[in-house]
Structure 1
Amino acid sequence: MSQSHPSAGRVAMVSEHASPLAELGGPDAGGQNVYVAQVARQLARRGHEVVVYTRRDDPRLPDRVTTPDGVKVAHVPAGPAAPIPKDELLPYMPQFGAWLAREWSAEPPDVVHAHFWMSGTAALAGARDLGIPVVQTYHALGTVKKRYQGPADTSPADRIAIETAVGREASAIIATCRDEVAELEAMGLPRGNISIVPCGVDPDEFSPVRGAERDRSAPRRLLTVGRLVPRKGFDRAIRALADVPDAELLVAGGPEQALLAAEPEAERLRAIAEEYGVADRVTLLGGVSREAMPRLMSSADLVLSLPRYEPFGIVPVEAMSCRAPVVATAVGGQLDTVVDGRTGVLVPAGDDSPDADHAVGATVRCLLDDPDLLARHGDRGRRRVLDRYTWDRVADGVARVYSAVSSVPSLSGVVR
């Protein structure tokens, strides 16, 4: 790894299951892929030399790829060169870590940034004997997943113990929100090693789309977005719709619309809509491309983000970036991103009781009855994103953490 700028640093990112090259919106691309791709891109633009190490899951992949932004992506041989569910990857992490140790012994990076707990085990194995500092970002925590999923949690049995050990050995931990800090402290990890750096959004990609607004004579539009899984709370949005006359609800997520008929969660949501008498006002859109999402969000009177738990929750930030006001459950990162009464409204996560559903419906109805308030929420949300949640600002925060534990300078702004 040769430096391309006199004050640049050599940064290694380890993202074992989430490649920055994965097609956005595809089945294997989630928030971690986007985060790694965007932070790596921003750091490379500042002159840092960035290599992302991800597991080879296809024998046809080249050993290394360089993106147009100058980020190098290395495909590490660890386990079969085939797709494997991430919860089944732990046995291959020693092989991943041994490969990194050989790679870095020849030309060590200045700092290693591990993404997800299994990446942490591989990164520490590769860096430990070389004295390279490791920064850990979990993206999701086993304690939270186990609490909310219970027996349905498919994580390895020793995930939480390994996560704790990784956090104790790492030079620094990056949490994405205050709620995650509390979880990490409850695991026994020292607060002094934890910094908060949120996830981000591209405000040029997610921006208000002129002409997307709908005619006032049309039904008011509610939108909810996310993976088609029960914890995202789409069922709660459907039940709340029963208390909001003259409104439609669009649900964006899951496979393409033609394949929704075979999706169990889609079938469950349709049954709930029938039960509550709103089936004619609920549309399951299936998966929506990132390119189409800004127009869809810009067309919504309100974006509903009602998960039962959420490590960070990028949907409210993307919605605010499109100047869409948000009703969100007071969980996880949404407690930080959505300012209650300023950029939208926070509602209790609730217990799926009728009273909780009616409360959400009443909140939505009051907001829809005040278009001027909705507009103010939307304007303030967009300003909040520009102030706090651009990828440039996220990269500033990440670079400050690197600088605190290594020789990597905290460069601000584009240097090349």
Structure 2
Amino acid sequence: MVRVVFLHPDLGIGGAERLVVDAAVALTSRGCSVQIWTAHYDPQHCFSETLSPDLPVVCAGDWLPTSVFGYFHALCAYLRMIYVAFYLVFLSGEEFDVVFCDQVSACIPVLRLSRHRKKVLFYCHFPDQLLTQRRSLLKRLYRAPIDRLEELTTGMADRIVVNSKFTASVFKQTFPNLAEIHTDVLYPSLNFASFDVEVEEDLTGLVPEGRRVIFLSINRYERKKNLPLALQALAALKDSISSRQWDQVHLVMAGGYDERVAENLHHYGELRLLAASLGLVEHATFLRSFSDRQKVALLQSSTCVLYTPSNEHFGIVPVEAMYTRCPVIAVNSGGPLESVAHEETGFLCDPTPESFSEAMGRFLTDPGLKQRMGQAGRDRVIDRFSLQAFTDQLHRHILSLTD
């Protein structure tokens, strides 16, 4: 039996966490012994699979700070992951064969120090250094050694996989010293069973009665996700349709939300203020930290998903939407270029309110569009993003590291 340990910095409910949980479940189904080690885990704010005794989660180092007076988040994240790796290797007594590490590569040198050095597979969602702003000289000076450390430690992994062809190209541009290292693309997948369930979740209070055209945005309440675009597009749509049509339209902004994260709190407030300024209060609902059942119910009930980030490295939400026969309007860059088929399973648009609202209007003028695009989207996901394909590929990677 192959023993696999997953190392992940914060096991919340984001896209990266969804992939880690799916990967752990996939390897368990192939007879691997699996544990997830993390610096933070909250049973009240997690994916349901992690509550099962078949998928043990070990939390170490949550006492370490996530920031210092609101600063140094990256440094703290690195130190927390290094501590988790140190605890695993030198203090826990756990035996393992392969470590699946993602997001933070700084822990890899510690893993290499383990007795009978174990193999490390690093999954790159996107280079961390590209996810931060560098507006000031002090910030650039602070990030310089961290960026160099990211490249150096990532290169220490025995196998590197990425979540899309787009990320593979960005990886080589960002880490020129690693350009010759081969990176395999391992697309995130869906556990179809979790979306095939009959959900009778009551959406009363989220969507007023009579609103038959429901647009849905699912993303964390973070500024980089460009969530204002969904509200601005809704306002542009309002100006382009009749009052009778407008009475049928509603937008649900469902976002990952963590009280510990200041940006989540602030951006949620910013979006509420923007909705009020655009006159959309009666046609927009904001939902925070929704459950798995609520998400499935919303996807099954919605006309279309609005996916607003630009240059998103992959983005699992469009795949989830398409599987539930919900078309997607996404920005024409990054991962959605590989997941969404333009004018077949949805629309790929410029990141402007006018472009998005024009696509949204198509669902008002063509009642059969949702059904046609929805079925095409489901077929595409089954063909390209099945859990079976993901499991087969990941299992091969793990076995190759134990030969």
TM-score range, shorter chain: 0.7 to 0.9
Q: Partners in 1 of 2:183 and 2:269 — Cα distance?
A: 42
Offset of residue 192 of structure 1:
4.8
CA distance in 2 between partners of 1:400 and 1:57 (Å): 29
How far the C-alpha of 1:69 sits from its partner, in A, is 6.0
Q: Stretches of 4+ moved more than 6 A in 1?
A: 152-155, 210-217
Against the structure 1 CA distance between its residues 134 and 294, is the aligned structure 2 distance closer, same or farther, given a 3 Å change threshold?
same
* Cα deviation 1:219-268 (Å, max 9, x = unaligned): 52111111122222221111111232322212112559xxxxx9432332
Deviation at 1:55, TM superposition (A): 3.0
Shift of 1:182: 0.9
Amino acid at match of 2:322: M
**Pair 1:302-2:330 in alignment:** no
Contact 1:49–1:71 (Cα < 8 Å) also in 2:
no
Give the residue type in structure 1 aligned to 2:306. Answer: L
| Cα 1:328–1:266 shift into 2, 3 Å | same
Take 1:170 and 1:390, find their aligned partners in 2: how far apart are those partners?
27
Q: Which moved further from structure 2: 40-49 or 394-403? A: 394-403
Superposed CA deviations along residues 170-190 of structure 1, whole A, max 9, x for unmatched, are: 111110111110111111223
Superposed counterparts of 1:180-219, under 5 Å:
180-186=167-173, 187-188=175-176, 189-190=178-179, 192-207=181-196, 218-219=211-212
Match of 2:327 among 317, 325, 328: 325
1:243: which partner in 2?
Answer: 236
Aligned to 1:53: 37
Specify whether residues 293 and 96 from structure 1 end up closer, same or farther in structure 2 by C-alpha distance, changes over 3 A only: closer
Structure 1 match to 2:314: 312
Match of 1:24 in 2: none
Q: Deviation at 1:310? A: 2.3
User: Using a 3 Å threshold, how does the CA distance of structure 1 residues 220 and 170 change in structure 2: closer, same or farther?
Assistant: same
Q: Which amino acid aligns with 1:42?
A: A
Aligned to 2:294: 292
Label 1:159 to 1:369 Cα distance change in 2 as closer, same or farther (>3 A): farther
Contact 1:173 1:194 in 2 (8 A): yes
Return the offset for 1:68: 4.2
Q: Determine the C-alpha separation between the residues in 2 that align with 1:285 and 1:250.
A: 7
- Work out whether 1:228 is the aligned partner of 2:224: no
Q: Say whether residues 1:125 and 2:110 are aligned partners.
A: yes
Structure 1 contact 302–324 (Cα < 8 Å) conserved: yes
Query: Counterpart in 2 of 1:81?
Result: 63
Distance 1:150 1:372 in 2: 46
Q: 1:280 to 1:218 in 2, by over 3 A?
A: closer
Q: Distance in 2 between matches of 1:55 and 1:327?
A: 35
TM-score, normalised via structure 1 length: 0.77
Aligned position for 2:397: 401
Q: CA offsets, 1:266-285, max 9 Å, x none?
A: 33223333443433322223
Match of 1:344 in 2: 346
Partner of 2:13: 29
Q: Which residue in the other structure is 2:386 paired with?
A: 390
Alignment check: 8 A CA contact 1:273 1:279 kept: yes
Q: How far, CA to CA, are the matches of 1:83 and 1:209 in structure 2?
A: 41
1:365 CA drift (Å): 0.9
How many Å apart are 1:93 and its aligned residue? 4.5
Work out the CA distance in 1 between the residues paired with 2:294 and 2:65: 27
Pairwise CA distance, 1:346? 0.9
Match of residue 18, structure 1, among 10, 13, 23: 10
Aligned counterpart, 2:47 = none
Deviation at 1:363?
1.7
Counterparts of 1:36 and 1:391, CA distance in 2:
13
Instruction: Using the TM superposition, give the Cα deviation of residue 304 of structure 1 relative to its aligned residue in structure 2, in angstroms.
Output: 0.4
Aligned residue number for residue 282 of structure 1: 284
1:2-59 CA distance string (max 9 Å, x none): xxxxxx32222222x234xxxxxxxx4323333222211221221112233223779x
> Per-residue CA shift, 1:150-172, capped at 9, x if unaligned?
44989955332122112222111
Distance in 1 of aligned mates of 2:29 and 2:53: 7
CA RMSD between the two structures: 3.4
Label 1:151 to 1:384 Cα distance change in 2 as closer, same or farther (>3 A): same
Deviations 1:174-215 (A, max 9, x none): 101111101111112236521111222222222485889999
Judge conservation of contact 1:207–1:321 (CA < 8 Å) in 2: no
- Conserved 8 A contact 1:39-1:391: no
Checking the alignment, whether the CA contact within 8 Å between 2:3 and 2:96 is kept in structure 1 is yes
Output the CA distance in 1 between the equivalents of 2:143 and 2:163: 23
Check the 8 A contact 2:235/2:280 in 1, yes or no: yes
**TM-score relative to the length of structure 2:** 0.79
Alignment size in residue pairs: 367
1:82-161 equivalent positions in 2, closer than 5 A: 84=66, 87=74, 88-102=76-90, 109-117=96-104, 120-128=105-113, 130-146=116-132, 149-151=133-135, 157-161=144-148
What CA distance in whole angstroms lies between the structure 1 residues aligned with 2:95 and 2:275? 56
Q: Identical aligned pairs, as a percentage?
A: 24
Q: Within 2, Cα distance between the matches of 1:93 and 1:305?
A: 31
In the alignment, structure 2 segments of 5+ residues that lack a partner are 43-49, 68-72, 259-263
